[in-house]
Structure 1
């Protein structure tokens, strides 16, 4: 029996043996190609979670502002090489231009736009709850560069003390969203940043049916509170969907010195409207009527 098998095996055509071996080689090559491109796809899908990417996304607004200031300063320094007064005047004008002079603190808003990537999603195919603090870090840095740019350029930092998230509904994977951050409140030390994770509502067709959400609805008190705090009558907010509300408590440090938020806002030009200020707030000892009349010019 063994002899017959050997004879049959030896009688096989060499061409058949070559075809079998070549088919096996092509199969191995195909597996290698599929594995290689699958590995590339996994790396690209999780590129935002790679090392140093978080640091780049956090510090990019600061780097961008410093590069813009350098691009302004170098040509002007060369043009005003022998005139220091003109150079100082141009730099002061640039500082005034990039500072939020005259902006009301509660009207200031920064928008950070992004998309839910694969590495920021969970097994439910929507944005993971652990990804919200990371996105809030990027938003706070962008907000600081727009609100207090020269404080950061002078070496100031913005450490965060605590964050609170109120999740309303999920953000689907690969969906575009915005984080609209503004000033919520402040005291002698702490500064509260309120960020809203929103998406733009898609236009509904006439025959569209209302889909049921798997997220449990808010209670009446929670719904009223969220609607009262974040309801707006502006045109750009009528077609948005609120997903999450975040509140971050942070402070401002220059070395070991804690800079009060009121001082920081005043030095950067942020101010309230004149009719919102009373003499009692300016001087607690003031008890007389507020005189808004202008003094007569001396003749």
Structure 2
């Protein structure tokens, strides 16, 4: 074969390899097994020890400084953020991030959050359950996801996914997530070299709920958080916070004051909220009780407590304020949680 022909073939082969390599690098996030690597990375990078949790909780509860007393979040409610971009393989025919790919980003963000809040007490919590006779694998299971899309995400645009705990009842851990375009500075045409800051923009929002299972038993979220060190058993007198309920116990137990209305089951829940209004009323009543307990030492939340505008509790992060914040978050998701019954009824109606 003549030398020029061989040279052209080698150059052609090298060119295709180069194009394939560049394409793979530009779409690294969407390649096979990349999702698994991303999740393991978030899990390892968000791994908290019990000692670290204790330091965070101590700094938020024992300090008497003004900044601590008016802190926006207790450590358990602190948001976890990841940053990402939408490669070409994640875009649809409109050249926007495809709606199906939002869920892989949510997996990544929620993995970071749930690792942070549950892992510290996982080992000895599992052993304690086994001593009580609850056998089987300990698992954190995603129950459902709801996502609303507000703005498009363009190819390779940088965005943040911010997730945090909203609240929990006797079964579900409710998580809120937000896709955000970060604030940025840009040149102002009329000001010449002057710069102005463009505020962050909400691109999408999502609600998710998790359940922790030990075999066929559902583990109370408060027990999980207490085992991890985020909550102290001495801070509250709710017996259910340290109790694991079986499916039989949950189906016959009277509804509590905060959405303990879904029993443990293998398939579709057998009982769900009767109406969003009932759920909201009970949450508001509990919030009013917590606010009254705070009023002796702290200023209570101003304004009426209703199902649409529930003000955030203020003051030091004692158990009453943590419980009020938990219920406020459940109030945000109350209508979504109650939708389970409507969907189930619609399915059964055929």
Mark yes or no: TM-score above 0.5: yes
Match of 2:25 in 1: 44
Match of 2:84 in 1: 114
Match of 2:54 in 1: 96
The counterpart of 2:12, out of the listed 11, 18, 31, is: 31
Structure 2: distance between partners of 1:93 and 1:35:
52
Query: What's the CA shift for 1:94?
Result: 5.2
Query: What's the CA shift for 1:61?
Result: 3.5
Match of 1:73 in 2: none
Structure 2: distance between partners of 1:31 and 1:271:
63
Q: Per-residue displacement from partner, 1:82-101 (whole Å, max 9, x unpaired)?
A: xxxxxxxxxx6456237797
Q: Per-residue displacement from partner, 1:146-189 (whole Å, max 9, x unpaired)?
A: 22222445574321111111000111111111111112232221
- Structure 2 unaligned runs (5+)? 62-72, 127-136, 191-196, 242-256, 258-288, 298-350
Match of 1:297 in 2: none
Q: Secondary structure at the match of 2:184?
A: coil
Is the Cα contact below 8 Å between 1:193 and 1:247 reproduced in 2? yes
* Alignment of 1:260 onto 2:230: no
Structure 2: distance between partners of 1:126 and 1:115:
12
Q: Per-residue displacement from partner, 1:15-41 (whole Å, max 9, x unpaired)?
A: xxx9xx554444333322221211212
Match of 2:208 in 1: 248
The counterpart of 1:136, out of the listed 103, 106, 110, is: 106
Q: Taking structure 1 as reference, are residues 97 and 257 closer, same or farther at Cα in structure 2, changes over 3 Å only?
A: farther
- Structure 1 unaligned runs (5+)? 1-17, 70-91, 209-236, 294-299
The counterpart of 1:198, out of the listed 172, 176, 180, is: 180
Q: Secondary structure at the match of 1:169?
A: coil
Q: Taking structure 1 as reference, are residues 110 and 63 closer, same or farther at Cα in structure 2, changes over 3 Å only?
A: closer
Structure 2: distance between partners of 1:151 and 1:257:
18
Is the Cα contact below 8 Å between 1:105 and 1:183 reproduced in 2? no
Q: Per-residue displacement from partner, 1:35-71 (whole Å, max 9, x unpaired)?
A: 12112122223332333321221123334466x86xx
Q: Taking structure 1 as reference, are residues 173 and 180 closer, same or farther at Cα in structure 2, changes over 3 Å only?
A: same
Match of 1:183 in 2: 165
Q: Taking structure 1 as reference, are residues 171 and 65 closer, same or farther at Cα in structure 2, changes over 3 Å only?
A: closer
Q: Taking structure 1 as reference, are residues 140 and 265 closer, same or farther at Cα in structure 2, changes over 3 Å only?
A: same
Is the Cα contact below 8 Å between 2:85 and 2:158 reproduced in 1? yes
Is the Cα contact below 8 Å between 2:186 and 2:198 reproduced in 1? no
Match of 2:38 in 1: 57
TM-score normalised by L of structure 1: 0.58
Count, aligned residues: 213
Structure 2: distance between partners of 1:198 and 1:65:
20
* 1:152-163 superposed matches below 5 A: 152-153=122-123, 156-163=138-145
Structure 1: distance between partners of 2:111 and 2:176:
13
* Alignment of 1:164 onto 2:152: no
Relative contact order: is structure 1 or structure 2 higher (C-alpha 8 Å, sep ≥ 6)?
1
Is the Cα contact below 8 Å between 2:87 and 2:156 reproduced in 1? yes
TM-score normalised by L of structure 2: 0.51
